[in-house]
Structure 1
Amino acid sequence: MNTGKTLFAQIMDFLPWTTFTRLVNRYGGDRYAKSLTCAEQFRIMAFAQLTYRESLRDIEVCLSAQSAKLYHMGFRQEIKRSTLADANELRDWRIHAEFAQRLIAQARKLYVGEALDFELENTAYALDSTTIDLCLSVFPWAPFRTTKAAVKMHTLLDLRGNIPTFIHISDGKLHDVNVLDVLVPEAGAIYVMDRGYLDFKRLHTFHQASAFFVTRAKSNIDARRVYSAPSDRGIGIMCDQTITLNGYYSSRDYPAHLRRIRFKDPETGKALVFLTNNFVLPATTICALYKARWQVELFFKWIKQHLRIKRFFGTSENAVKSQIWIAVSVYVLVAIIKKRLNLDASLRTLLQILSVTLFEKMPLQQAFTTNALVENQANSSSQLILFDF
């Protein structure tokens, strides 16, 4: 890396800017832009995500304090919060959404060989959603409760590398199961989801597309046993059955056989009943797949803690969606950098380092080495003590 560049500029070099330019031209993003281009808007919002900025004023003040380095970070002039607010309000959010999808495609190629905690050749996804609470008077376009607004972030997470492959942003009222209508099943892939997605008509669509699903059964399921496979109670597999649905509507919506596995956790004693259309994988693998679904919950927790998707810089639907998609792009970009530079540190550690070193001029890989961290600690220890108690 060129040591004359700031770390922020080196990070931005990993982005496919030619693709970004094509998307901007497709949606006319720079058609009426006089001072702030879409590329600069993306850089500013990415900077805000990487450095944990809290507001437009916070962004403006932070960048103004480093005005001498703005040109080397890709900014042609000082940033004004009103100009950035207008850009977030008016620039089409689909530019950032499609750009994030391009980054996701790159990341998935890098993480395709990642190993799971169990043996599995199929691609495995975890599907879930998270709700981001908002103020109804400020965000009236996102109704949720009588006195509350919210947006839902429906996410399909690739369990190899924990890369989000599909994201759908809706208002808080949209039920999780409706996302199955938007999702295009991938033949041979396994979709792991909780009971909120149990809709036999929609699941049969997955079955017809040669895709597999793993979900939990509801307690009132009406079904009869067709066949019982041998089970090992010593490892918690209480039964492994082939069943058919009895209910009039459910049997019409899903006429094929299902596989029902009852699992009792040896540690907690809790019993879980899984439903799947995969009759080939061992019962223990089906149970392990559902346990791996927790990765999507950790993903939601991670991005809410380390990225700015709970406090928004704008109040319009376009501004909110733009900020969420740019946050996803930053997450995937850091994952790409981690893989391409063969870094052992976690994404959390990488973000922490970047948040305090973006203005530094050093090779990017050096910033993440142990020697660099030790040197930074030594430099800080040699500083004068302001208060000595």
Structure 2
Amino acid sequence: MIKDFVPKIKFQSMTFDKFIAPLLKLLPFAPELLSRGDRPLKMTFEDQIKALVYFHLQEHKSARHLIQDMKENAFAKQNIAPDDGISRSSFSEAVNHRGLEQLQFIFENLYKQAANVLPKEHKDLGDLISIDGSLIDAVLSMYWADYRKGSKKAKAHCGFNINSGIPSKVFLTEGNGGERPFIDQILAEGQTGVMDRGYQSHREFDLLQDANKHFVCRIKAKTTRTIIEKRPIAPDNYIFYDAVVLLGTPGQNQTKKPVRLVGYKIAGSKYYVATDRQDLTAEQIATIYKLRWTIESFFKWWKEHLKVYHLIARSEYGLMVQILGGLITYLLMAIYCHKEFNEKISIKRVRQLRTKILNELFQGQDNSGPTEDNNFKEQTKSFNAKT
């Protein structure tokens, strides 16, 4: 008896296609990903980056979870996985050894796209880049991720564009990696780095001024200072100090170039902020430092809702691949939320995006008759119930 022929149906989501469109437009211009030796690639770069975006968008918690989804979910199998499928070992080999140059290209150019379309806040304060590091829990087999005895951690050193609300740069080191060396690499000429006390470096303050890069950096209250010029302070103001000074001990670690020091008091706590910005009021300098919290909020949101620190790689190379995949997903979300809702990223909109994609696929299967994925509807119903 001959069985009835059931055509293979291509499951697509217009919402997912729209979400990933800015990325797909960049793919033809990315550096070519070549196979090592005579063996063909198990994953093209397009396969790899789609899998990474899908991993973060759908909050997968492990590579095993992602591979299983690409085998069993009709949409992921046809639109995310390579044509011949992918094994866990082949996926791990690809993530840990290939695609970093291409991902860096996509991230840098997608950032430019996002920065051009997203509205600019605080334009009157200049081009503000918050700089900070975030520790990533590692496993003991990640020998390169030195932190302390019995504990392995890596550290992501990030720049965050305060005006546009998006990450701008990222570097990766072991958990003990110094933070100050990355200031110059994160900042472009004319930008203002906004930093906490851990970045206080009198030598770095001089070098930044030489390079026409600006800074607003909290410093330790007990830092020695030589006053060059005191500026008037309005009575009953939360600003209690404004002066041009040389920071540090003469003959030891004193700045060669004068800096401006602003002191202000909030909720009983005193803050001293060093800057080279002479074009702003003391109140504006205080406001800029307060905006530093945006990078802390980004790290918290990024970890909680995109699962970027559920490791799918163990090598330093592979972890950087995963981090870039997470940043690219965040940029795509920022562009999507602005274009569709004229809003910033929120978990509400991200959940709506995920649900809409799955509902479109659910409806497509309802209209298509028999399919190869008998569990898909149950997966969709389960996801909708959770969200």
TM-score surpassing 0.5? yes
Q: What's the counterpart of residue 370 of structure 2?
A: none
Determine helix, strand or coil for the equivalent of 2:54.
helix
Report how far residue 134 of structure 1 moved. 1.1
**1:59/1:238 Cα in 2 relative to 1: closer, same or farther (>3 Å)?**
same
Q: What's the counterpart of residue 265 of structure 2?
A: 264
Whether the 8 Å contact between 1:5 and 1:72 is mirrored in structure 2 is no
TM-score by length of 2: 0.83
Report how far residue 8 of structure 1 moved. 2.5
Whether the 8 Å contact between 1:70 and 1:78 is mirrored in structure 2 is yes
Matched, 1:229 2:236: no
**1:349/1:96 Cα in 2 relative to 1: closer, same or farther (>3 Å)?**
same
Per-residue CA deviation, residues 165-209 of structure 1 (Å, 9 max, x unaligned), is 11111111111112135345412x221101111111111111112
Where do 1:41-52 residues align within 5 Å? 41-52=48-59
Whether the 8 Å contact between 2:51 and 2:80 is mirrored in structure 1 is no
Q: What's the counterpart of residue 53 of structure 1?
A: 60
The runs of 5 or more residues in structure 1 that have no matched partner are 363-379, 384-389
Report how far residue 233 of structure 1 moved. 4.1
Count residues with an aligned counterpart. Answer: 353
Query: Which has the larger displacement, 154-163 or 290-299?
Result: 154-163
Q: What's the counterpart of residue 206 of structure 2?
A: 204
Aligned partner of 2:45: which letter? C
Report how far residue 342 of structure 1 moved. 3.9
Determine helix, strand or coil for the equivalent of 2:124.
coil
Q: What's the counterpart of residue 67 of structure 1?
A: 74
Whether the 8 Å contact between 1:185 and 1:211 is mirrored in structure 2 is yes
Determine helix, strand or coil for the equivalent of 2:23.
coil
Aligned partner of 2:265: which letter? K
**1:50/1:151 Cα in 2 relative to 1: closer, same or farther (>3 Å)?**
same
Q: What's the counterpart of residue 280 of structure 1?
A: 279
Report how far residue 220 of structure 1 moved. 3.1
CA distance in 2, matches of 1:185, 1:33: 39
Q: What's the counterpart of residue 377 of structure 1?
A: none
CA distance in 1, matches of 2:75, 2:48: 19
Report how far residue 277 of structure 1 moved. 1.2
**1:68/1:109 Cα in 2 relative to 1: closer, same or farther (>3 Å)?**
closer
Determine helix, strand or coil for the equivalent of 2:360.
coil
Q: What's the counterpart of residue 170 of structure 2?
A: 167
**1:41/1:270 Cα in 2 relative to 1: closer, same or farther (>3 Å)?**
same
Per-residue CA deviation, residues 324-355 of structure 1 (Å, 9 max, x unaligned), is 10000000011111222344363322222233
Report how far residue 21 of structure 1 moved. 4.0
Whether the 8 Å contact between 2:244 and 2:258 is mirrored in structure 1 is yes
Report how far residue 95 of structure 1 moved. 1.8
From 144, 147, 150, give the equivalent of 2:150. Answer: 147
Determine helix, strand or coil for the equivalent of 2:262.
strand
Aligned partner of 1:100: which letter? F
Q: What's the counterpart of residue 247 of structure 1?
A: 250
Query: Which has the larger displacement, 313-322 or 28-37?
Result: 28-37
Determine helix, strand or coil for the equivalent of 1:271.
strand
Q: What's the counterpart of residue 19 of structure 2?
A: 11
CA distance in 2, matches of 1:4, 1:98: 27
Q: What's the counterpart of residue 108 of structure 2?
A: 101
Report how far residue 228 of structure 1 moved. 1.5
Aligned partner of 1:173: which letter? N
Runs of 4+ in 1 over 4 A off after TM superposition: 29-32, 72-75
TM-score by length of 1: 0.83
Whether the 8 Å contact between 1:29 and 1:91 is mirrored in structure 2 is no
After superposition, the CA RMSD in angstroms is 2.6
